[in-house]
Amino acid sequence: MRTASTASVDLLERSGELEALRCAFERVRDTRRGRLMLVEGEAGGGKTALLRCFSDDQGRGARLLWGASEALFTPRPLGPLLDIAELTGGELAELIGKGAFPHAVAAGLLREVGTRIPTLVVLEDLHWADEATLDVLRLVARRVSSVSALFIGSYREHDLTPNHPLRIVLGELATGRIERLEVAPFSMAAVARLAGPHGIDPERLYRETGGNPFFVTEALAAGDHRIPPTVRDAVLARAARLSAPARGLMEAVAVVPPRADLWMLDALAGTRAADRLGECLSSGMLTASPRAVEFRHELARVAVEDSLPHDRRLALHRAALAALSEPPSGPRDLVRLAHHAEAAGEVEAVLEYGPRAAEVAASVGAHREAAAQYARALHFGDSLPLEARAMLLERRARECYLSNQADEAIGDQRRAVECHRRRRDRLGEARALRSMSTMLWCPGRTAEATLAARDAAAILEVLPPGPELARTYAELSRLAMNADDAEDGRAWGERAMELAHGSGDRQIVAYALNNIGTIEFLQGRRDGQQQLERSLQLARDVGDEEGVARAFTNLAQAALRQRWYPVVDRNVDLGLAYAAEHGLDLFRLYLLSFRALAQLGQGRWTEAADGATLVLHEPSASTMPRTLALAVHGTLRARRAEPDPWGPLDEALALAESSGELARIAPVAAARAEAAWLSGDVETVRQSTELAVRLAASHRVGWLGAELACWRRRAGIAHEYPFDEDNPYGLELEGHWHRAAEAWTGLGCPYETALALVASGEEESLRRALLSLQRLGARATAAIVARRLRERGARDLPRGPRLATRPDRTDLTPREIDVLELVAQGMRSSDIAERLFLSRKTVDNHVAAILRKLHARSRAEASAEAVRLGLVRIG
């Protein structure tokens, strides 16, 4: 008998959450505009019970589509969507069955939910979701308002590490596309109500379970006045009351997450397993659907599985492997086969199913899952021939590279090189070296990357010419392009094009054309943009996903250098959509960092800070995106007179200098020079720009060099290097301040317009600049301009927006004001931490200080007091 784990118990204190879900669904019904809601809570917090109760309440008036991610070692690509496709059949099932990319699956899902009104779609346990599923979630979020459906996703907040893929998605969707609902633990009153009939001390039960609904119900269901010290003990005490055959069935179900199909029960637990099923269901530990059996909660399944003796666990996994190898219908599930093969220690089965599962994952853009499947095979691959092992290493390295796991990619690729050397396979060695060059460049190891590419070329140039030599020349062209060495970049690119045309390899032609076009576009030539766009189309034609993403990325980067923001914005948007559709995390990070820089230049500073934070929340990010994001944060802190602009700028400098590349060094040098100029530190301006301005002059990179020279001139440092006047920085250097301001205005750069006006020294221009800087929130820069005006005797200067802090009344710091503004908007500490690039603990400390200084007992009281005092504005 179930003593405490009833639906009514699980749903104590959930009326508010149910009402929020009902209201959201009613708005969908009334407006015919879809919504996305995310339900978060800890493991055992009652999320599933809440969603089941809510969906049951909708009755026959709504269509329900339910899918869940699985707690496998490596998740199934599109796992929750597979569940839904089994319910819908039709186009969606066909798309998933043939391995369609996430954009096609998302479009098919939206068309499917549009056939019945209204529809409720539940995606459960997103913390276990694969990359392809999260890409579908991204795409659905953008278009959810076009269908009459409520999408609900559930996840465990505490299971999300800082670089968890779901956390990245949540950050990207934080701008109004989603609603959040938190399922809190039980209160002391609820625990006391449950504990009453059992004679258990409610205060102790609450203290030891934290009010977690699952922990509470399992402790009560253990049937003892003593509280079990762990959930595991509670679950096992409950299981111990089952008969031996029923317990055996339950153990079998425990090793096949998330559920055991009914046809598998006899294979796992012996014949007539169904006869024991009733006892397991009556105990409340298992639940049944029409075709499967599963544990009521994942925590209970894990507790039972972990308690199994080693030999019993091996036997069950082997039985599962045998059963899944010959399913009664449909194709074999490669991911589950690989999972059970690994758990059973069956080497041949792992080597068969792991790589095949990886290929399926890669085909739908789930590159992280593909890398994990190849790693599974490699773990058992010591006995493989060198050729086979090298192939697995190279395939895993590529999947790691595409999913932004640079260190893992480089390590596996280096091991593949060694395998080819031991085989004396010179062509294979050169191919692996050329691929390793690309992987080494991303984290800024440019000297090693160049050496690897040159070593590959040296090997290939003594072999008969072929496509691999053309690819290596194209790689050398790319390295020269990124080093702003236009002459070498063109030369290597043209040699690659010649060889590629000779062999008819259009993919290499597209690669070389991309490099040459980027070189021309970086130098401000519009024909370079046209070449890049031709390379993009050619890459599409030959199905080169990486080539398409690289073209979007280079178009955005080259346009950004010229401040051609419409071109930047268009290619960033297209590139991000393409990267999401194909699971190309690496290129997504580059594009996000370029967008943050573009927003900074266009005066969209809040958006720039949010975009940079998205990049910085992925610790494994390649160094260039992280470097640029840090420069954005440091620049904004300096302009706004916020604390610690040098923290991010120092980290950015360390990352940029090790690369030796001007494209990484110059943005950091400019940001550091501006921060030093704002604080009146001329020597730091000089030191920060010395290397970068010299590199820009030697490579004749006018835009970057002129920008650095401008900062030196503003600090009173003599202008040593000649730079062209064909950009606004060059105009300012030559003393054409008003023409420079007009040019900046035409490009849509309000901050740079103001700085050009400041350089003129004229009172009217200074006043115009002051107003613009005040509107932007550039407090430090505005203070310099106001001081210059006062030194000229100017009066009646505009004060600008009132500074939020009032030392005489609140003693709040500028950072506490920033936190308070977001608290007043109803944001939680975790969201504030993401927005302000702080740790959650730091935010909590700021909130505690705010409450103390405002004499408030809660966040709501602090918000009301802040509005009353005029410290923040709402709306």
pLDDT, tens digit (0-9, with 9 covering 90-100), for 592-622: 999 999 999 999 998 999 889 888 877 555 7
State the average pLDDT over residues 619-645.
Answer: 88
Whether the ω angle into residue 257 lies within 30 degrees of 0, i.e. cis, is no
Percentage of the chain beyond pLDDT 70 is 92
Give, to the nearest 10 degrees, the angle between helix 446-460 and helix 467-482: 150
The pLDDT of residue 620: 55
Summarize the confidence of residues 383-406 as an average pLDDT: 93
Contact yes or no for 141/27 (Cβ under 8 A): no
DSSP 591: H
Average pLDDT over residues 249-262: 89
Task: Please report the pLDDT score of residue 808 as a whole number.
Answer: 38
Instruction: Name the pLDDT band for 59 (thresholds 50, 70, 90).
Output: low
Burial class of residue 566, CB neighbours in 10 A (0-12, 13-18, 19+) = exposed
pLDDT of amino acid 271: 63
Q: Which residues are CB-neighbours of 409 under 8 A, at least 6 positions away?
A: 397, 398, 400, 401, 439
Residue 274: the pLDDT is 66
Q: Are 418 and 381 in contact (CB under 8 A)?
A: no
Write out pLDDT tens, residues 697-733.
888 888 888 999 999 999 999 877 776 667 999 999 9
The whole-number pLDDT of residue 164 equals 80
Handedness of CA 699, 703, 708, 713 (dihedral sign): positive
Could you give the CA distance from residue 535 to residue 514 in angstroms, rounded to a whole number? 5
How far apart (Å, rounded) are the C-alpha atoms in residues 521 and 558? 6
Give the strand order in the sheet containing 63-68: 63-68, 119-124, 149-155, 35-40, 179-182
More confident residue, 140 or 668: 668
C-alpha distances out from residue 11 to 151, 289, 318, 427, 769, Å: 21, 21, 39, 64, 59
Residue 736: the pLDDT is: 92
- pLDDT attached to residue 741: 94
- Secondary structure in 3-state letters for 722-739: CCCCCCHHHHHHCCCHHH
Angstrom distance (rounded) from CA 812 to CA 78: 48
- Alpha carbons 838 and 842: distance in angstroms, whole number: 6
* Angle in degrees, CA 577, 580, 582, rounded to 5: 110
Check pLDDT > 50 for residue 8: no
The pLDDT of 496-521, averaged and rounded, is 93
Half-sphere exposure of 19 (CA within 13 A, CB side): 4
For residue 769, the model assigns a pLDDT of: 92
pLDDT band at 224 (very low <50, low <70, confident <90, very high): low
d(CA 74, CA 371): 10
**Nearest in space to 65 (alpha carbons), one of 122, 25, 105, 107:** 122
Gap between the Cα atoms of 683 and 673, Å rounded? 10
The model's confidence at residue 846, banded by pLDDT at 50, 70 and 90, is confident
CATH no. of 384-464? 1.25.40
Ranked by mean pLDDT, which of 158-167, 563-572, 577-586 comes out on top? 563-572
Percentage of the chain modeled with pLDDT above 90: 45
pLDDT above 90 for 646: yes
Per residue in 723-748, pLDDT tens?
Answer: 666 799 999 998 899 999 999 999 99
Q: How confident is the model at residue 804 (pLDDT cuts 50, 70, 90)?
A: very low
**Rounded mean pLDDT of 256-267?**
85
The partner residues of 67 in beta bridges, in order of sequence, read 123
Judge whether residue 14 has pLDDT over 80.
Answer: yes
From first CA to last CA, the distance across the chain in angstroms is 54
Report the pLDDT averaged over residues 520-533.
91
- 228-242 pLDDT, tens digit each: 677 778 788 878 888
pLDDT tens readout for residues 430-449: 999 999 999 999 888 999 99
Q: Dump the DSSP string for 4-30.
A: S--HHHHTTT-HHHHHHHHHHHHHHHH
Is there a cis peptide before residue 118, judged by omega within 30 degrees of 0?
yes
Out of 89-103, 109-123, 257-271, 398-412, pick the least confident.
Answer: 257-271
Take residue 344 and report the two structure tokens written for it: 């059973």
Lowest mean pLDDT among 186-200, 681-695, 857-871: 857-871
What is the average per-residue pLDDT within 486-510?
A: 92
Q: How many helices (H) and strands (E) does the chain have?
A: 46, 8
Q: How confident is the model at residue 665 (pLDDT cuts 50, 70, 90)?
A: very high
On average, the pLDDT of the chain sits at 86
Q: Which CATH class is domain 9-182?
A: alpha beta
pLDDT one-digit tens code per residue, 447-462: 999 999 999 999 999 9
Residue scoring higher pLDDT (698 or 640): 640
Mean pLDDT lowest among 407-421, 548-562, 605-619: 605-619
- 532-549 pLDDT, tens digit per residue, is 999 999 999 999 999 999
Give the pLDDT of residue 874: 47
Whether the model pTM is above 0.75? no
Q: Which residue has the tokens 């153990």?
A: 251
- What pLDDT is stored for residue 638 in this prediction? 95
User: Range with the lowest mean pLDDT among 428-437, 691-700, 842-851?
Assistant: 842-851
Query: What pLDDT score does 228 carry?
Result: 67
For β-strands 119-124 and 63-68, DSSP reports them as parallel
Highest mean pLDDT range out of 170-184, 254-268, 425-439? 425-439
The model's confidence at residue 261, banded by pLDDT at 50, 70 and 90, is confident
**Domain covering 814-869 in this structure, CATH number:** 1.10.10.10
Q: Phi first, then psi: give them for residue 226, nearest 5 degrees.
A: -85, 145
The pLDDT assigned to 725 comes to 64
- What is the rounded distance in angstroms from the CA atom of residue 807 to the CA atom of residue 789? 26
CB-based contact 688:676 (threshold 8 Å) = yes
Return the domain boundaries, the chain: 9-182, 188-227, 384-464, 814-869
β 286-288/292-295 pair status: antiparallel
Average pLDDT over every residue of 632-642: 94
pLDDT band at 782 (very low <50, low <70, confident <90, very high): very high
The maximal CA–CA distance of the chain, rounded, in angstroms, is 98
pLDDT one-digit tens code per residue, 571-581: 999 999 898 88
Distance CA 804, CA 815 (A): 10
Q: What pLDDT, on a 0 to 100 scale, did the predictor assign at position 7? A: 40
pLDDT of residue 9: 45
